[in-house]
Amino acid sequence: MKIVIIDYGMGNIHSVAKSIQVCGVEPIISNKKSEISSADKIVLPGVGAFDDAMLELKKLDLISVILRQVDCKKPFLGICLGMQLLLESSQEAEMNKGLGIIKGQVVKFNSAPGLKVPHMGWNDCKVVAKDCLLLSGISSGTQVYFCHSYYPQPSDKSVIAATSNYGGEFCCVLRQGNVYGVQFHPEKSQALGLKIIKNFVNLC
């Protein structure tokens, strides 16, 4: 099995790679279109700003190859900023649209007394899509690790697989066909995070 982690200079790549290794697969870290095209599964990590991330994907001419692999029904996982890029736009972005794979917008947490932004630390993951293979064996309410100021707000609520709560309920896992996104960091979420990574590795 060939799992490619897309390297566009914005991701927590080595931690993600290590978590996949622990699950029994040696991933390939690459920004080469040929490597991405020949992958069986693809991971798009991300840490940083939405505009910067889309700009780097454009510079590397990776947008069209990403969209083709999604159209080919290959399992695809976006992590944190990589999940946000799956949507059409972001309140953070001044210049660039997202990949538009999932309809909707990325929005910022509202500042409120006692609510620190960015949202950092452990929080509950409430499973709402019991048939989501990425969350197979995950108990609803188990804690995962977050570090973000923005979160996805999909137009079609049926793609929401799990939610969390930080000043209000927000989407933390998306699932649309072969495409998955997690707002938290599974590579930093200890045993639970490894279970989610292993579920992705085992997807058919």
Q: Give the Cα separation of 14 and 170 in Å (integer).
A: 28
A 10 A CB-CB count for 169 gives: 12
Question: How does 158-168 read in b/e, with b if 16+ C-beta sit within 10 Å?
Answer: ebbbbbbebee
Question: How does 18-36 read in b/e, with b if 16+ C-beta sit within 10 Å?
Answer: ebbeebebebbbebeeebb
Residue carrying the six token digits 């978590």: 19
Q: Give the Cα separation of 122 and 73 in Å (integer).
A: 32
Q: Known catalytic residues?
A: 80, 185, 187
**Across the beta sheet with 150-154, what order do the strands follow?**
89-90, 104-108, 150-154
Is the Cα torsion angle 160, 65, 204, 19 positive or negative in sign?
negative
Helix (H, G, I), strand (E, B) or coil at 177: coil
